[in-house]
Structure 1
Amino acid sequence: MADLSMDARARHPITLPDGQVHSNTVWLKSVIDHPNIEVGDFSYYNDFEAVTDYAARIAPYLFAGAPERLRIGKFCQIANGARFVTSSADHPKRWFTTFPFAVFDNSQMPYFSEAFSVGRDTSIGHDVWIGDGAVILPRVAVGNGAIVGARAVVARDVPSYAVVAGNPAGTVRMRFDAEVTALLERLAWWDLRLDQIGALMPVLASADASALRAAVVRYRGDGEG
């Protein structure tokens, strides 16, 4: 079995059979330099148009110095048009008006400073697939291994290894039973070295629960990776 050959520092990780670099796919960590966005290794984004600012493309409302952060784990797969609508896009909902007067007239800031200073992070786990045009709304946490369907609007937290779809997004099914889900969370393969992940490929590219149990014992049985 050949070792995995992926360079986490590359900008464009796909080379087509004819040797041409596929410029529409990027490792997000290599193209985003934003103080409020954290991205793990090998998480990619694909777009059908040329992009000059990937942070603005995927999180258009998140500004530097905002009270919230966007965290994306390792090995995530983010399709064209997916968007993270972070807390800075929110408006006061308990007041008699939702209009952000202080944005247009700074003298009104005393009324709005408390509301504008509150922001909860948006968190995407590891090995998450976010489909074409999906929208993740403020303060959502998406668990490891989840699948977010195309055009889904996610307003609530998503459990690990759930498949969600629709508007508002609801759980369609769980990808695996409770035992397998627990084993995958225990294995946490995304935290292993790349050579270890390569050795695990026959297991990861299968649905063999017994092989998964053996992998957990091998890599996590003593609490070490």
Structure 2
Amino acid sequence: MIPNWKIYPRSQGHSTVYLQNVVTDPFITVGDHTTYDDFVRDPRDFQRNQVLYHYPECNRDRLIIGKYCSIACGAAFLFNAANHALGSLSTYPFPIFFEEWGTDAGAVANAWDNRGDIVVGNDVWIGYEAVILSGVTIGDGAIIGTRAVVTKDVPPYTIVGGVPAKPIRRRFDDAVIARLEALRWWDWDEERIRRSIPAIQAGDVDALEGMA
């Protein structure tokens, strides 16, 4: 049994979990220290409640989430089986109901368009009830606004919001983003990160580079 402190990062409550230690699906990969907070349902059920229409036995599609991400309550990852085949003359998913229609049981995945994996970078903040669609890649350091519906890739360190989500602004200028991407502080060992927290919180890239 995993001890509580490995699941819950805060002793004050159990609404937040380290996702890496509660996800069991081999087609879901989560990096170190990434958290999910859910004040409505048990956050340990993230895999069942927030990763939706995910049938990797048909699609082999994956959810990949990096390190040090913060995922807010109700954020959902909507996979390929939520789609319907747009190239068909009808959006009705006949292949799913193969018993009713006598179609090939092995062709169920023909009922939807397969757009690929969902990939979330490192140090990404996903806001309350945001929805990430299949095939989307979110860059390092990006921020996804509350109830945004993300249908396209999000560049690193970019804030997006709305339905469908569109860029609002970049968090830093190109030079700072390039320096942060080169540093990749999230790959450092925990002791170095612990020493670097004041520089990270102060937005001091020069000091952070000095810790590398």
Structure 1's 141 and 100: CA in aligned 2 closer, same or farther, altered over 3 A?
same
Residue type of the partner of 1:159?
P
**Structure-2 residue corresponding to 1:205:** 201
Taking only the aligned residue pairs, the percentage that are identical comes to 39
Residue type of the partner of 1:81?
G
Partner-residue secondary structure (3-state), 2:52 = coil
In terms of fraction of residues, the more helix-rich structure is 2
Partner-residue secondary structure (3-state), 1:105 = helix
**Structure-1 residue corresponding to 2:17:** 26
* Inter-partner Cα distance in structure 1 for 2:7 and 2:160: 30
Structure 1's 113 and 207: CA in aligned 2 closer, same or farther, altered over 3 A?
closer
Q: Is the CA contact (8 Å cut-off) linking 1:79 and 1:133 kept in structure 2?
A: yes
Displacement of 1:49 in angstroms is 2.3
Gaps of 5+ in 2: none
**Is the aligned partner of 1:63 residue 2:55?**
yes
Structure 1's 9 and 117: CA in aligned 2 closer, same or farther, altered over 3 A?
farther
Residue type of the partner of 2:71?
I
Q: Is the CA contact (8 Å cut-off) linking 1:27 and 1:45 kept in structure 2?
A: yes
**Structure-2 residue corresponding to 1:102:** 95
Q: Is the CA contact (8 Å cut-off) linking 1:135 and 1:154 kept in structure 2?
A: yes
**Structure-1 residue corresponding to 2:166:** 170
* Inter-partner Cα distance in structure 1 for 2:91 and 2:188: 46
> Out of 66, 71, 76, which is 1:83 matched to?
76
Displacement of 1:56 in angstroms is 1.4
Q: Is the CA contact (8 Å cut-off) linking 2:148 and 2:164 kept in structure 1?
A: yes
Residue type of the partner of 2:192?
Q
When normalised by structure 2's length, the TM-score is: 0.89
Q: Is the CA contact (8 Å cut-off) linking 1:61 and 1:89 kept in structure 2?
A: yes
Displacement of 1:198 in angstroms is 0.8
* Inter-partner Cα distance in structure 2 for 1:36 and 1:119: 16
* Inter-partner Cα distance in structure 2 for 1:9 and 1:123: 27
1:96-129 Cα deviation digits (max 9, x unpaired): 1111111112432376555669451100000000
* Inter-partner Cα distance in structure 1 for 2:62 and 2:117: 5
Structure 1's 40 and 167: CA in aligned 2 closer, same or farther, altered over 3 A?
same
Displacement of 1:208 in angstroms is 2.1
* Inter-partner Cα distance in structure 1 for 2:5 and 2:55: 25
Equivalent residue pairs, number: 205
Displacement of 1:64 in angstroms is 4.5
Residue type of the partner of 1:168?
P
> Out of 181, 189, 193, which is 2:189 matched to?
193
Displacement of 1:50 in angstroms is 3.1
Displacement of 1:85 in angstroms is 0.4
Structure 1's 186 and 138: CA in aligned 2 closer, same or farther, altered over 3 A?
same
Gaps of 5+ in 1: 1-6, 17-21, 220-225
* Inter-partner Cα distance in structure 2 for 1:176 and 1:160: 10
Q: Is the CA contact (8 Å cut-off) linking 1:39 and 1:74 kept in structure 2?
A: yes
**Structure-2 residue corresponding to 1:3:** none
Structure 1's 85 and 113: CA in aligned 2 closer, same or farther, altered over 3 A?
closer
> Out of 151, 161, 177, which is 1:181 matched to?
177
Q: Is the CA contact (8 Å cut-off) linking 2:123 and 2:142 kept in structure 1?
A: yes
Residue type of the partner of 1:47?
D
When normalised by structure 1's length, the TM-score is: 0.84
Displacement of 1:168 in angstroms is 0.6
* Inter-partner Cα distance in structure 2 for 1:209 and 1:112: 50
**Structure-1 residue corresponding to 2:120:** 124
